[in-house]
Amino acid sequence: MEWGGTLLHGFWAHLEWDANTGTRELRFLLDLSEALVPIPLHIGNWTVSEAFERVLDMATRQASIHHLRLLQDVKTNSSLAEQFQPLLSMVLYLCSDAPDVIDGRSSSVIPHYRRPQPKKTKRGFRLFPPDCFKIWEVGNVIGNALRISLLPRENRGPQKSKRTHIRHHHWHGYWSGPKDGERKFHYKWQPTIIVNASVCTDASYPPEEDQT
C-alpha cells in the first residue's frame, strides 16, 4: 500500500484531545519508507473528506503563523483523503464489537489490551516498555473462508448452505410495528459483511494434497 506515492509499511492510531482548541482527534502515525508522518483527523459531525479538509486547513494556517513552507499544496491534493479512508476503515473494524482478530501465537487465544500501569521505583512512578512485541492476525477466519469458497467443490468439505461470499454495503428497508396495525418504513445503511463464513469451518486451506 502507498501513501502519497511512498510505500506505507503500517501505522499507529490513538485518540487525542487538543488542549488549545478542545478539538477531539483520532491521530495516525504513518510508517513510510522515508519518515514517520503524523496525521490528525478531527472528530465531529462531518464526513471523512470534510474532516481531512479541516486538518489541511489547520496545517496551512499553522504554517503561515510560524512562517513554514508546506512540502506540497495540500489544498489541491484531494487524493490523500481517498488514500486515508482504508486506514480509518481498518481502525473502525478493530474497534467493532466482534472483530476477526486472533493471537498470532495461538489461534485459540483472543487478544486483549491492557493499559500499561506505572510501577513505583526509587525515583517515583515509571512506565516500562514491554519485554516483546505481540502479533495479532486480522481477518484470519474471514480470509480462510473466502479462500476455501474459491476452491473446487470437492475440496471445500461438507456444505449444506450457500457458499461463502461477500455481501457489499447497501441501503436496506425495514418495516416496524404490529402486522395488524400501523407500520413504519425505515431505511438503514448496511455495511459489507461475509455471508456463511461458518460453512467452511470443516474444510482446510490449502487442501490436504497441497500441504507441505
What pLDDT was estimated at residue 206? 46
**Residue pair 109/103 in contact by the 8 Å Cβ criterion:** yes
pLDDT number for residue 142: 72
The per-residue pLDDT for 155 is 55
d(Cα 122, Cα 128) in Å, to the nearest integer? Answer: 14
How far is CA 86 from its chain centroid?
7
Per-residue pLDDT of the chain (212 residues; tens, 9 = 90+): 777 778 899 999 999 988 877 889 999 999 998 889 888 888 888 888 888 788 888 778 878 888 777 655 554 445 667 778 888 888 887 777 667 787 777 666 666 667 778 899 998 999 888 888 778 888 777 777 777 767 666 555 555 556 667 777 677 788 888 888 888 888 776 666 767 655 444 444 444 444 33
* 85: enclosing H helix or E strand: helix 79-94
Map residue 92 onto helix, strand or coil: helix
pLDDT of residue 13: 92
What are the extents of the domains in the chain? Answer: 2-94, 98-212
**Whole-number pLDDT of residue 208:** 43
- Grid coordinates standing for 44? 465531529
Q: Which residues make Cβ contacts (< 8 Å) with residue 208, sequence separation at least 6? A: none
Q: Which residue's C-alpha cell is 456463511? A: 196
Of the candidates 188, 96, 192, 200, the one whose C-alpha atom is nearest the C-alpha of residue 153 is 200
> What is the per-residue pLDDT for 126?
92
